[in-house]
């Protein structure tokens, strides 16, 4: 611990006991008294200057009466504060970006539709398009299934093991079926996403136009049977 010089011994000791504060009084000429802490935050000494080994620690400068005149945070505290400030600025920038994007979307929404019925019509058209794509995929899936059945029938009816060509044809037909099944499932999910997206747009549109709670949207028209 750095030794406290001369007549500041009593004042410094009192400052330590009072935890940086108090009303230490002595009659010597006015000079600063600095108290410093270790890394754990415990006051470990006072004097006319901070020892070199505690330069990165928190310190507090006192006047001759023991009143705090200046505080200095530790290097660790400063690093944490700056990191927190940086994170706060980053969050604010992200929030500002989201707010700007929401404003852009709102502006586009009210300028695209004249009323909520147009939103319903757009939704129905998109769903109808997706239904048409699903119907086409189902036809292709049936064709692949028929092809797979036909190839397998020829193999089973033959007296010899399947040729390499037959094996490849069978594998391709089975692969096509699986791919089409996944594509159909993806399109069904896409239909649900369309419903949710337009429902959210409809509710937001009514809110932006100053309407009350949005009325339930009419159910999409059923797809025409192929």
Instruction: Say what the pLDDT of residue 40 is.
Output: 82
> Per-residue pLDDT for 16 more than 80?
no
- Of 96, 95, 35, 90, nearest to 62 (Cα)? 35
Domain ranges of the chain: 8-72, 113-208
What's the predicted TM-score (pTM) here?
0.56
Instruction: Say what the pLDDT of residue 22 is.
Output: 39
- Report d(CA 176, CA 130) in Å as an integer: 20
**Residue 62 banded pLDDT, cuts 50, 70, 90:** confident
Range picked from 124-138, 144-158, 159-173 for highest mean pLDDT: 124-138
Instruction: Say what the pLDDT of residue 45 is.
Output: 87
pLDDT tens for 172-220 read: 999 999 999 999 999 999 999 999 999 999 999 999 998 655 445 555 5
**Residue 14 banded pLDDT, cuts 50, 70, 90:** very low
Instruction: Say what the pLDDT of residue 109 is.
Output: 94
Classify residue 182 by its DSSP letter.
H
pLDDT tens for 24-50 read: 334 444 467 898 988 888 888 888 888
- Report d(CA 46, CA 12) in Å as an integer: 5
- Report d(CA 101, CA 126) in Å as an integer: 24
- Of 29, 39, 35, nearest to 49 (Cα)? 35
Range picked from 18-22, 60-64, 82-86, 160-164 for highest mean pLDDT: 82-86
């Amino acid at each position: 611990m750095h030794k406290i010089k001369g007549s500041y011994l009593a004042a410094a000791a009192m400052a330590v006991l009072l935890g940086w504060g108090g009303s230490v009084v002595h009659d010597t000429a006015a000079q600063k008294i600095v108290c410093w802490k270790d890394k754990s935050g415990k006051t470990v000494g006072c004097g006319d200057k901070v020892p070199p080994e505690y330069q990165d620690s928190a310190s507090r400068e006192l006047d001759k009466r023991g009143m705090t005149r200046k505080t200095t945070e530790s290097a660790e505290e400063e690093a944490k504060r700056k990191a927190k400030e940086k994170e706060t600025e980053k969050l604010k920038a992200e929030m500002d970006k989201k707010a700007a994007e929401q404003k852009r979307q709102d502006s586009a929404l009210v300028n695209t539709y004249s009323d909520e019925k147009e939103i319903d019509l757009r939704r129905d058209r998109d769903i109808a398009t997706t239904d048409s794509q699903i119907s086409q995929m189902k036809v292709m899936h049936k064709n692949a299934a028929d092809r797979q059945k036909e190839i397998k029938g020829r193999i089973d009816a033959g007296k010899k093991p399947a040729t390499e060509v037959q094996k490849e044809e069978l594998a391709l037909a089975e692969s096509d079926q699986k791919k089409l099944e996944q594509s159909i499932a993806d399109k069904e999910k896409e239909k649900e996403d369309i419903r949710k997206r337009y429902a959210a747009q409809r509710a937001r549109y009514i809110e932006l136009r100053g309407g009350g709670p949005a009325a339930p949207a009419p159910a999409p028209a059923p797809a025409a049977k192929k």
